[in-house]
A and B are shown apart, each in its own frame.
Chain A
Amino acid sequence: MTEAYIYDAVRSPRGKGRSDGSLHEITALDLASQVLASVNDRNELDGHEVEDIAYGCVSPVGEQGAVISRMAALKAGYADTTSAIQVNRFCGSGLEAVNIAAGKVKSGEADLAVGGGVESMSRIPMGSDGLGGMADPTLVFQEYFVPQGISADLIATKYGYSRDDVDAYAVESQKRAGKSWEEKRFEKSILPIKDVIGETVLDHDELMRPETDMQSLGSLNPAFQMMGEQMPGFNDVAILKHPDVEKMNHVHHAGNSSGIVDGAAAVLIGNEEAGTKYGLKPRARIVSMASIGSEPTIMLTGPEFAAQKALKRAGMEASDIDVWELNEAFAAVVLRFMEAMNVDHSDINVNGGAIAMGHPLGATGAMILGTVLDELERSNKQTALSTLCIGGGMGIATIIERVN
């Protein structure tokens, strides 16, 4: 099969996903379009070379509706001939879009494609699509759905992660993110976002609090205790599916969960010929890709299974991976993954993650793939695996390998 190479990866900085966030005035269309335009600019492409654009978006309604990738491609000056698709695999959307782009290249459908994603959470809040079938009683009664925060607390309860464990993880994430920005480790990929008059409105991830310590986190109340224990009582629902649990331990809060932010990202992927034709230098090869479904009530344990599947398909062992990147949806998700996969904390999320910098749902998967590629190059390592936990009980993973 044709190899798919990563030629470039770019992302916006992440703005606070609130009305006082720096990216709040930037429409989702404009945010996506600035990032897409930069792919052409950075690689000196005209706009007709990219054949297809896959873009993740988790709340594709309102201004993010109606296949935002096509709209953004047009606005960004891509040729009329460039087609686009918007995909939704919840939090895995951005990486799914990259995998789709890679799949198109590998299958021979396209020579050059873009995978990425956008989510302006300040403008189109989470859940704006109404949550679909997750609100339908016929399915809720069959599957015992609970909100993600309850699932994260369920992971902590089942695997015995204390409040200190998850807080300590969060403190480290902030520390690593702060250090990475200080050392300009993200510089290669960050695209400052500009306003209508061409002024930069944001050039850094603005959610970070590198000064966070155990004490400051300790003052936060568990965020999901009320909805779990009292109204409407999701703990009982979770325990119906996990009857080995006597009592839920609520450990997650805003400080050890991913932040709500605005952001967009794009990854340029093509075959060897496209690189030669357009004078692009391949940075990494897509080694393998995997998506899985897992138990939907605990919901967020999918990365372990997705990673195993991706490794198996690549004929690799966990020990073959130099750097791991797992989206920090909740601290317990990463703690569980490290335990299950026997991954050392020093090899995973080495530049911090969504707890510090935020999780723009539809874009994150593409962002962390770019981050880990930058890290491979910076640290002169070879292989990386990026993975995310996904709503409804899914997981996605992509293994890349640098091309020297």
Chain B
Amino acid sequence: MSAHDEILEPRPQGVLARFRAFREKRPHLFLLVLMMLVAFFMMDPRTWVVLTISGLAMGAMVFLMASGMTLTFGLMNVLNLAHGAFISLGAFAGATVLVHWLNASAGESSLLANLAAVVPALGFALAVAGLVGLLFERLVIRPVYGDHLKQILVTVGGSIILMEMIHVIWGPNEIPVPRPDALTGAFLLPESWPVIGGVALEKYRLIAVILGLAVYGMMTWVIEHTRTGILIRAGVEDQEMVEVHGYRIRLLFLGVFVAGSALAGLGGAMWAMYREIITAHMGDELMISVIVVIILGGLGSIKGCFYGAVLVGLINLYVGYLEPRLAAVATVGLMVGVLMWRPQGLIPVIKV
């Protein structure tokens, strides 16, 4: 629609008209800039920089968790409320590698030894969550395609079972996950820099931001430039047309579901190292952020999901700094506000 519309519509004249056009055409950027500006004037610049980076880090991790769910919904109209259980599963799988299997190398202080523990941990989390996702799709979700009510019921039931299995395997107590040495600590910005000199940036948060951006980049590349991506986009747009052309959309969906679960597991493992303590119910708590993100972004949209995650991360940190008790309320308030403004979400893809 974009190119076509721009030709037809005259370029907006005047500052106010341009502002209005910007607000309507790019609501995600408008909201992001607005939020950062408001926060900027409410605190001192150094705090603002630290909070913004932390918010981006949180957003990146939430994006990892949410992207799978939004695609699952967009592609097959399946609402998977057990997504939170996959987050927990990934966290526990990653923790097992770090705490039990490779704790010698995780405990050392050299970067290489640490990476030799962290990378397998993330890989294992990815693999376990993906594998369980495969089973889950086959056993639990497949029989209830096209029936939202049953999907909600069945996935809630599936979520209970997965959570209880985590209890059975790893025990009911919370598990501490010490972050490897090389990932703790912070970079200090040089004092000579204007305004933000001397600000300490936590290494792990920077890594999370980079990883999140990398996954986002890769995902956009896959979706926009590969054949699979074209099929996924086409499937989101019109599932039946894809089937008519002879593609097995079930298989495509299975792939997306497994990838989404695996990413949720990866996000969970990242979150485990970020918080350094995990419980089986962490997935339920994160699920709220995930849901807010996918509603904010517009169900089925990867780009919307990314911006939604960043917005949620930022508002969490900003409000958490100004009034810690209201962080969760502000997150949901953001969602309510956006829904009143744009009932379809920021970047709607499918018509709901």
Question: A and B bound?
Answer: no
B interface with A by C-beta (< 8 Å)? none
Q: Which positions in A face B, CB cutoff 8 Å?
A: none
